[in-house]
Structure 1
C-alpha cells in the first residue's frame, strides 16, 4: 500500500538564478537583466540570460530531476542551448516556441539514459501512480498555480512544474517561478484545484534501468 505522504528528495532550482527576486519579476519592478547572479547561469552576458530566464521553466525542471538521480547538473543557459540544438526550442527572432516535448524526451534519453515518456493525456491519477513508482513528472499548468488557493486562471497550461510528491489531499510540486517561502518547494496543490490549472499533458521521467552494480532496477525513489 502506498504511504499517505510520498515525498521524493529533489533539489530545487528556480528558472532565475536569484529565486528570491520572483515577486519583483512578477510585479515588473525588476527584469531578469537586473539579477545580480546572472553569470551563474552560464550565459555569455546579461542579455542572453534575460532572453532565456523567463523561458526556462522546463530547463529548471530537468535540472531538478538530474540532481535527484545523482547526475551532474548543467548550468541553465548552456542546457537551454543544447535543447535548442536538439529541437526542443524553436526560435523565431525574439520569440521562442517550446518546450516541445518529443525532441526534449529524445534528448533526455540520448544524453542521460533517463526514461522520458511524452503523455498527451496526463491525468492526476497517472501522475500519482508514477510518483509512487519512483518517477517524477513535468506537468503543463498555468503560471498562476503559484497561488492556487485564491487564483482562478484564465486558461490552462503554458508553464512547467515538477511533480515531486503527493499526499491524500494534494500534489506536491517544485515550481521554477514559485513565490519564495510559499510556493517554490513542495508546494501543495489540492487534487480538486489541480484541474483548473493543468493542461492535461506533460512528460513522465524515470531513472535509467540497471544503474546499480547488481543490475536491479534503480527507480530513484526516496521517500520520507
Structure 2
C-alpha cells in the first residue's frame, strides 16, 4: 500500500483497502458499499505517519491547491476550447483527439462534450498516484455501470448519473465516492475542509464569472480545496489557462452552483 501526502491528508485514507462508505442515490435511497479488504489499524497508523515511498522510477505526486494538482480537459486540445464553446468550432475537428483514448473520431465527436465528470475523475486518479486510464477508458467503465444512458430513438446522451458513477469509482478505482443530492455551500466547504475532493454541479459559464450567472448546474468542476473565502477548482471546459486552473470567492462560486455533487477521497 502506498500513502501519498496531501496538504490535508485526504489521500492517505483512500488507500485503506478496507474502506467502507455510503452511496446516496438522488432519490434518497442509501446503499452501503464494503470493499471486502482489511487493514491492520496499527500498521495503517504507522504507514500514514511516514513519508510515502514511491515505486521504483516514479516520483510521488503531491496534490496542492494550485499548479501541482493535475489539470485535465474534456476536450483533447485545451487551446481549441474557446473556439468550440464560443465560436462554433466543430468539437470533432481536433488534431489531438486520439490522445483521449477514443476508438475513432466520430466517437470522440459524439462524447467529448459530455465528459466533464470523467475529466474530473481522471484528475482525481492522477493526483492519487500519477497514473490514470484515458478519458475514454474511464468513460467505457462508467457506461458499464449505467452512469450514462442513450435514448434509443434520438440518440440523446443523459449523464453523468451520480449513483452508478459513485459505485463505479468505488468498485473499480477504490476511491470512496459519496453522492450529495442536496449540498449547501457550508456543506461544500466542510467537505473541502475535511480533505475531500468535490465534483460540483455548476453552470458552464462559471468560466466567465465577471458576467452574471445565467443559471445553475449542468456542468461539473472539481474543487480541490479552499483558502479562507476562496475556493480552488479545475474546470474541464475552461477556455483559458486561468479558467481551467481557477479560484473564486465562495460567494461568486455560489452564484453558479446548483447545490449537488459527488465527493471523493
- TM-score normalised to structure 1 length: 0.84
Q: Does 1:7 align with 2:39?
A: no
TM alignment of 1:199-210, pairs within 5 A: 199-206=258-265
Give structure 2 stretches of 5+ with no counterpart: 1-6, 9-63
- The Cα shift of 1:201 comes to 0.2
| 1:83 lines up with 2:181 in the alignment | no
CA distance in 2: counterparts of 1:111 and 1:10, whole angstroms: 22
Instruction: Give the alignment partner of residue 243 of structure 2, picking from 183, 203, 208.
Output: 183
Give the match's secondary structure for 1:39. helix
Structure 1 CA distance for aligned equivalents of residues 180 and 243 of structure 2:
25
1:29-48 → structure 2 map (5 Å cutoff)? 29-48=88-107
How far apart are residue 166 of structure 1 and its match? 1.1
1:49-91 alpha-carbon deviations (Å, 9 max, x no partner) = 0111100000000000001111631111222122111100011
Residue 59 (1) aligns with residue 105 (2): no
How far the C-alpha of 1:183 sits from its partner, in A, is 0.5
State the alpha-carbon separation in 2 of the partners of residues 29 and 96 from structure 1: 20
The DSSP-based 3-state class of the residue aligned with 2:214 is coil
Residue 71 and residue 107 in structure 1: after superposition, are their counterparts in 2 closer, same or farther (change >3 A)? farther
Q: Would you say the 8 A contact 2:195–2:225 is kept in 1?
A: no
Of residues 205, 211, 214 in structure 2, which corresponds to 1:151? 211
| 1:79-118 deviations in Å (ceiling 9; x for gaps) | 2122111100011143111100000001101112211010
Tell me the CA shift for residue 184 of structure 1: 0.3
Max Rg structure: 2
Partner of 2:221 in structure 1?
Answer: 161
What per-residue deviation string (whole Å, max 9, x for no partner) do you get for residues 165-186 of structure 1?
A: 212232111000012222101x
Measure the CA separation in 2 of the matches of 1:50 and 1:78: 16
Q: In structure 2, what is the Cα distance between the partners aligned to 1:88 and 1:76?
A: 14
Deviates more, 1:125-134 or 1:56-65: 125-134
* Cα distance change of structure 1 residues 139 and 14 upon mapping to structure 2, 3 Å threshold: same
Structure number with higher relative contact order (C-alpha < 8 Å, ≥ 6 residues apart) = 1
Contact kept in structure 2, 1:10 and 1:65, CA below 8 Å? no
| Cross-structure match for 1:171 | 231
Q: SS where residue 242 of structure 2 aligns?
A: coil
What is the aligned partner in structure 1 of residue 164 from structure 2? 103
2:186 paired with 1:125:
yes
Shift in alpha-carbon separation, 1:37–1:14, aligned structure 2, 3 A? same
